[in-house]
Amino acid sequence: MSAIRLVKRKEIDEVLWNECIQQSDHSLPYALSWYLDIVAENWDALVLGNYRAVMPLVWLRKLGVAVLYQPYYCQQLGVFGQPVSAAENTEFLKTASSRFPYVHINLHAQTTLETESLKLKKKKNLLLDLNHDYTAIRKGYSQNHRRNIAKAEKAGLRFSTSESLRSFQSFYLENVRHTGEKFEPQHEKIFLRLTEQVLAHRYGQIYAMLLDNKLVAASLVLFHPHRFINIINTSNTAGKETGASHGLFDKIIQTHANTPAVFDFEGSSIPAIARFYQGFGPAEETFYLYQTNLLKSLSQRIR
């Protein structure tokens, strides 16, 4: 196997990098260079051969130590290429761990590994197959969701695809659960820049529900080949009272039904949100959190 080399961000060939991500067996927008430039405090990469396979290394410094972390608005990363063997994936992770004393990253769902000795924690994503008639997809909704969708219709909510970026940004920042979602000032900066770039380059679309011409629920859906990703969404009190989020996702699903793609809810570690997404009948997809903590190991040995 060719040697895996460390490449600094400024030295990365963006054309070859993005081609590798886009042609990967499990292509995801989170690993594209423009996306990483927005969500990552710093990032470099491990590269195999002439970009046959790559692994983003998103890092920051804590107490003077460089650590690998999973950035906000970025559910899965890991190794991308076509194809990437279990042995190569394992070698990438070992190389990353040898360079960073602390690692906390999510590996994409198609990651296969050669050994089970790595510290992995199972996580869940939720994907809805859109390649069916809307009527067939709706049959998979829970009864509670169908009731809430009817509630939204009865309340006279209006579905919109023409809300401005500024109104969406203001609405989200007013309603995001800062504590529950660990949303901090640096995340607001990322949010503003990400939403601006997504819409400026038509990488996604804002969908919203309005009551008396006022926003009550909204979502930014990211577009990627064969995948629509629920990257950001929120609702306010009036939206919760009228079933606006149920109605919103139902309309989004209806809009993209009969498409050879999946709707990626992005799962959630918050039980109530996960149950909400599950009510639309998606299939579960497993991915893994990979963690190492050499600093902790060393401190325990010293004791």
How many separate domains does the chain show? Answer: 2
Determine if the peptide bond prior to 83 is cis (ω within 30°).
yes
The CATH number assigned to the domain holding 238 equals 3.40.630.30
The pTM of the full predicted model, rounded to 2 decimals, is 0.92
C-alpha distances in Å from residue 35, one per residue of 21, 57, 205, 285: 12, 13, 16, 23
Looking at 118, 140, 161, which one is the last position of a domain? 118
Same domain, 59 and 175: no
Q: Per this entry, what is the length of the chain?
A: 303
Nearest to 190 by CA among 232, 228, 236, 218: 232
Tell me whether residue 102 is in a domain.
yes
| 162: three-class secondary structure by DSSP | coil
The Cα–Cα gap between 134 and 136 comes to: 5
Query: What pLDDT score does 26 carry?
Result: 92
Tell me whether residue 299 is in a domain.
no
Query: What pLDDT score does 300 carry?
Result: 40
How many helices (H) does the chain have, and how many strands (E)? 11, 13
Same domain, 50 and 178: no
| 171: three-class secondary structure by DSSP | helix
Same domain, 254 and 136: yes
Tell me whether residue 250 is in a domain.
yes
Tell me whether residue 295 is in a domain.
no
Which residues form the domain of 134? 126-286
The CATH number assigned to the domain holding 78 equals 3.40.630
The Cα–Cα gap between 111 and 249 comes to: 29
Measure CA of the first residue to CA of the last residue in the chain; give whole Å.
39
pLDDT bucket at 178, cuts 50 / 70 / 90: low
Same domain, 161 and 277: yes
Percentage of the chain lying above the pLDDT 70 cut: 94
Q: Are 228 and 216 in contact (CB under 8 A)?
A: no
Query: What pLDDT score does 265 carry?
Result: 96
Task: Extract the runs of DSSP E, i.e. beta strands, from the chain.
Answer: 4-7, 42-48, 53-62, 65-69, 80-81, 102-107, 120-129, 158-160, 204-211, 214-224, 227-235, 262-264, 283-293
Same domain, 138 and 87: no
User: Could you tell me which residues are beta bridge partners of residue 289?
Assistant: 106, 121
- Average pLDDT, stretch 262-268? 92
Element (H, E) at 271: helix 271-278
Same domain, 95 and 132: no
Same domain, 238 and 146: yes
Query: What pLDDT score does 271 carry?
Result: 86
Looking at 62, 83, 118, which one is the last position of a domain? 118
Q: Are 58 and 105 in contact (CB under 8 A)?
A: yes
Same domain, 259 and 130: yes
Query: What pLDDT score does 176 carry?
Result: 84
Tell me whether residue 49 is in a domain.
yes
Tell me whether residue 291 is in a domain.
no
Residue 20 has pLDDT above 70, yes or no: yes
Q: Are 207 and 252 in contact (CB under 8 A)?
A: yes
Residue 29 has pLDDT above 90, yes or no: yes
Residues 53-74: tens digit of each pLDDT: 999 999 999 888 899 999 999 9
Nearest to 110 by CA among 128, 89, 93: 89
Tell me whether residue 46 is in a domain.
yes
* Neighbour-count burial for 98-127, b at 16+ CB within 10 Å, e otherwise: eebbbbebbbbbbbebeeeebebeebebbb
Tell me whether residue 292 is in a domain.
no
Same domain, 166 and 26: no
Same domain, 44 and 92: yes
Same domain, 183 and 227: yes
Same domain, 113 and 96: yes
